[in-house]
Amino acid sequence: MPKKIAQLWGSAFEKKTRSRVIDFTAGRDVFGVPPADVVLLPYDVWVNLTHCVMLYRRKIIEARDAQAILTGLSEIEALVKRGKFPIDPQQEDVHTAIESCLVAKYGIDKAGKLHTGRSRNDQSTTDVRMYLRDKAVAFAEEGLAFVASLIKLTKKYESYAMPGFTHHQHAMVTTFGHVLLGWALMVVRDVQRFTHWRALHNRCPLGGGASYGTSIPIDRELTATLLGFDGPELSSFDGLTNRWEAEADLAFAISALMNHLSQIAQTLMVFSTPEFGMVKLSDEYSTGSSMMPQKKNPDPLEVIKAKASIAAGSLQSLLGIGKANFIGYNRDSQLGKFVLMELIEETLPSVSILKGTLTTLTVNRERMKEWCSKGFIGATSLVEQLVARFHLPFRLGKIVVEKAVRYSKDQGVVTFPSLQRALKEEKMSVQISEAQVRAWQTPEVILHATSSFGGPGKKSLQESARILTQELVRLKGWVKEKTNQRKQARATLANEIKKVIN
């Protein structure tokens, strides 16, 4: 029988590349995306159910009409959950599709009352706001899982000496744990941005109509509660005129996160090259070449970098859509949901992919340490020890060591004769031994001497990790609280529906 192949590489791999990694790197090459309003279907049903309950509670519609509408919406919701509720393109949008279905079943005399006291403008804005709210929590959850892994890895690698870099050149000795903790702090700030987004935008636009409210005596507090919002938008005008703002704010939070992930990805790619050899990526998070048998490529990391650029472009698009809006709802703001939905679907998996890459890689401790004896990486420590022990002016001590670096040429470390020569030229008498010059440039001595808070010293690293862990716990509590708020809103709505139908 002819041999079948699923992909054009991988026979040299010891472990099979994970399927989600393949999906992530293939992306839109093979996977389509659902229409935006298909994504919004469950939110629009929730909004409709809530609006109907409110209309009944306010005695704007009669019980028999509310019962018919709620029964029909519950049936539609069941179909949506099974993926069985289609949207006919001729119906224009999700709102029309749902209302048309209800009218077809119950007639316009009953179903036609559902749209009382609202517009598609505030309805659509509410749908999107609820979608964004869920995604903000989803990003926070993914980010916190990543941070927890980074804290765990920080403890594992807290004593793994490695070179730190500035300008892509050797700078000072640090530890891999120090770098990992720095990455964890970046992602924690990203999670905090998602919590800030919710604090800014978890207000309910429903009831704003076409920007200027409605003369129907609706209850916006009730609908806000049943939809899980912190309250209604204080201004129907503001909530709809600035529809782009919540989208752009979330896009910024995502873009900042992706920039951080891109930084981590680029660093791991460089560290994994044969020239550095400091880490080795797992086969599970690598791909191969269709031509070169030996290749093991960091494709997932490269894709993350590209998605960071996509995020920046999406943010710019959303800011542009919101620019120079005239007062009131504007149809151009509707296009923002396409941009943001694509952004979310493209970027959300990046967090767990990078988490998996880091937790499965192999660290070459000896190779890291070897790089700590190159590029005069101990020169700064040597200056600091001269200053601290012999009370030299820092600027003068730096001049001496700069000359010593020049005289040491290609040694990679400052030699004792070179330092003596530099001291003599500067007419300085310092009682220093060759053993001291050598020791003050070794990773172990440098890290032991580095005790400043926030640095790579072991005690400082452990204290920073402790403080970060406390924030991690707080943020996990926030996620739980917001998830429960959503569940409670749904449960309250379900009880209200039962009261009407029964």
Buried b / exposed e across 97-122, counting CB within 10 Å, b at 16+? bbbbbbbeebeeebbebbeebbbbbb
Q: Name the active-site residue from 74, 168, 211, 289.
A: 289
Catalytic (active site) residue 178: no
* DSSP 8-state assignment for residue 59: T
Q: How far apart are CA 120 and CA 260, in angstroms?
A: 38
* DSSP 8-state assignment for residue 209: T
Q: How far apart are CA 253 and CA 258, in angstroms?
A: 9
Helix (H, G, I), strand (E, B) or coil at 70: helix
Task: For the beta carbon of residue 484, count every other beta carbon within 10 angstroms.
Answer: 12
Task: For the beta carbon of residue 342, count every other beta carbon within 10 angstroms.
Answer: 15
Q: How far apart are CA 182 and CA 369, in angstroms?
A: 20
Catalytic (active site) residue 289: yes
Instruction: Answer left, alpha or beta for residue 92, where phi above 0 means left and psi between -120 and 50 means alpha.
Output: left
Angle at 143 between CA 272 and CA 243, to 5 degrees: 125
| 65 phi and psi angles, rounded to 5 deg | -70, -45
Q: DSSP letter string over 264-328?
A: HHHHHHHHTSTTT-SEE--GGG-B--SS-TT--B-HHHHHHHHHHHHHHHHHHHHHHHTTTPPSS
* DSSP 8-state assignment for residue 376: T
**Structure-token pair, residue 219:** 């209850």
Q: How far apart are CA 33 and CA 31, in angstroms?
A: 7
Q: How far apart are CA 492 and CA 501, in angstroms?
A: 14
Q: Name the active-site residue from 11, 51, 100, 167.
A: 167
Tell how far CA 94 is from the center of its chain. 29
Q: How far apart are CA 90 and CA 391, in angstroms?
A: 82
Task: For the beta carbon of residue 328, count every other beta carbon within 10 angstroms.
Answer: 13
Which residues have a catalytic role annotated? Answer: 167, 289
